[in-house]
Structure formats: C-alpha cells, structure tokens
C-alpha cells in the first residue's frame, strides 16, 4: 500500500489531505460526522485581530461546477478563537492545525500571528494575503510583490512556527508573487485561493451577491490551480500546498505531480461533509493502482516535461 506521510517544514503529517480555511470552521462541526484525527491537518477559519461580521447577505451564489462566496472573513476575533474554539478543539483533536491569519494592515497581521504562535495546537501559520472579498486588506497585499514580501517579512520576524503564505490566482504573474514571499522569508506557500466572479438575476439584472463580486471555488477552478502550482513550483524551493477544485483522489495525485507537497480541499467540504474523509480512505487504492510507493515521491514529477 502506498505511503501517505508527507513532511511540511519539519512537521510530518499522516497524509496530504488538509481541509481548507473557510470550509472547515474550527473543526468542531465536522467532528460530529467523523473523527477528524484521520486528516493530515486542517486550516482553521480565517481569523482577524478583532471580531468581524463579514459582508451583508446574500453572500453565496451557486454556479456551474462551483460556487461564489463573498462571506468577507466573518469570525469572532483572535481572543475568542484562542480562549474558546481552540480549547474545545483540543479536547478531541490531537494533531496540529494551520492557523489562518487575515488582516487589514501589517500590524494586524503581525499581532494576530504572534498570538497564534504561542498556541501548542498550531503547527503552522497560514498568512492569507489573497482574500478577494474584503476592502482595505487581504488581496491588496496579495497583488503587489513588494507588499507581499513586506508583510511576509514582518510576520516571519516575529514568529517561530513555519509561515505559509496563501497566494491569489487573481494576478498576472503568480510565480513572481511566489518568489517575492519566498524572499520575504516564507517557509511555504498555499496556492491558491478563489478567482473573482459575479452572478446576476435574470429577471431584474440585479447582482445576486450584495458585494457584487465573490470568490469562485469548486471543480471549475482545478485546471487553473494546477497551472498556478506548476508555475510556482518552477520558481521557488519551498514546499507548496495546492488548493483549488480538488474533489477526487486522482485530483490529489495530479496536484502533487504538478509540484505540491500536500493539498487543501475547500468547496468539496460544503457539498459533502465526508469529502476529506473519503479522500484519505481512497488515496492508497489509487496509489496502488498506479504502482506508486509513496505520495511524497510524486512531488513535482510533472516539472520535468516541457515549458509553461
């Protein structure tokens, strides 16, 4: 049976399946469906320094092969997350998590990351500079190489845990962004996030989302995410977690072949709460099918063929 263990910046996880931030809360709801310790890890809900309600309703819209969301980083703030959510999580979850950090200034990113850095259950800090659904923060850092490097360096200089920076596909050259945050001190990348899209009501022409635009996620995103991971893997020497439209074990194999070391699974969790559980269960069978001894051996095997 194919080996599933992978190493992410000195921390070994049992398998490469990681539910993505924004789709798994703080793990508590999914524990009702299955023992989430089966996962390699998971990324918690995007957390800001202060509580946020997020964007006004409606903020979800369905579309072919995916969905749009404009939630806007709703969360209870770092104090509540540490004092309540992570304490409850520790009663049944015995592995490390990615603490997803969002902010509206470099100082907010730094302060929130430092708070998470002191939590035992946190293995990695995931710096979200790629959220398209908030103003005055998030994506504004994720579309400028200089700003991305600056916020990365500021956070990295104040924490001890590995820092993974989540990049946006809403840029003309994601490889340049990847190199910038690597130079800024990032230990790894999460590639990528949602693409900006919109939907309109056929009867009135009114935008379905109050925010007008939202982030497209789901299977439609998968080929774009593959391209982004491939280009980033060509440009950097740090681990990459591939994210975008993954629904099957075959998708996992393809994403890791493109250059990822592990994967994050997002929208699939909202369609089926057992999505990640099923990926963990089925992945060994598909490794055996292709005579693959270990998932880690696949990382970047597609990089040797052709040009971008």
Active site members: 131
CA gap 126, 124 in Å, rounded: 6
6-8 and 11-13: which strand pairing? antiparallel
Find where tokens 């979850």 sit. Answer: 93
Single out the residue of 253, 259, 224, 267 nearest to residue 241, CA to CA. 259
How far apart, in Å, do the first and last CA atoms of the chain sit?
33
Q: Which residues contact 57 (CB under 8 A, 6 or more apart)?
A: 210
CA gap 222, 228 in Å, rounded: 10
Residues facing 207 on adjacent strands: 200
With beta carbons less than 8 A apart as the criterion, state whether 133 and 195 touch: no
CA gap 129, 104 in Å, rounded: 10
Tokens of 52: 């946020």
Strands, E assignment, 35-129: 60-63, 66-69, 97-101, 122-128
CA gap 16, 78 in Å, rounded: 27
């Amino acid at each position: 049976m194919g080996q599933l263990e992978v190493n992410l910046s000195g921390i070994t996880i049992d398998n490469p399946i990681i539910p993505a931030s924004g789709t798994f809360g703080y793990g508590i709801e999914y524990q009702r469906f299955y023992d989430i310790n089966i996962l390699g890890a998971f990324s918690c809900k995007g957390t800001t320094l202060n509580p946020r309600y997020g964007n006004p309703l409606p903020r979800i819209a369905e579309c072919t092969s995916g969905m749009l969301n404009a939630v806007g980083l709703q969360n209870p703030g770092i104090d509540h997350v540490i004092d309540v959510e992570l304490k409850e999580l520790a009663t049944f979850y015995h592995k490390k998590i990615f603490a997803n950090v969002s902010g509206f200034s470099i100082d907010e990113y730094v302060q929130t990351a430092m708070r998470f850095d002191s939590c035992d259950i946190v293995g990695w800090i995931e710096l979200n500079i790629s959220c398209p659904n908030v103003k005055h923060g998030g994506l504004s850092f994720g579309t400028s190489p200089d700003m991305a490097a600056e916020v990365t360096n500021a956070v990295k200089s104040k924490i001890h845990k590995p820092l993974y920076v989540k990049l946006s596909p809403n840029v003309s050259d994601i490889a340049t962004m990847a190199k910038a945050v690597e130079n800024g001190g990032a230990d790894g990348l999460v590639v990528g996030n949602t693409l900006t899209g919109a939907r309109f009501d056929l009867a009135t022409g009114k935008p379905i989302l109050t925010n007008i635009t939202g982030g497209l996620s789901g299977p439609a995103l998968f080929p774009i995410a593959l391209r982004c991971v491939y280009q980033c893997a060509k440009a950097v020497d740090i681990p990459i977690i591939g994210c975008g439209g993954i629904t099957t074990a075959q998708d996992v194999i393809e994403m890791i072949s493109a250059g990822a070391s592990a994967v994050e699974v997002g929208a699939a969790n909202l369609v089926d709460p057992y999505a990640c559980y099923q990926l963990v269960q089925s992945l060994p069978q598909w490794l055996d099918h292709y005579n693959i001894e270990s998932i880690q051996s696949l990382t970047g095997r597609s990089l040797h063929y052709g040009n971008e």
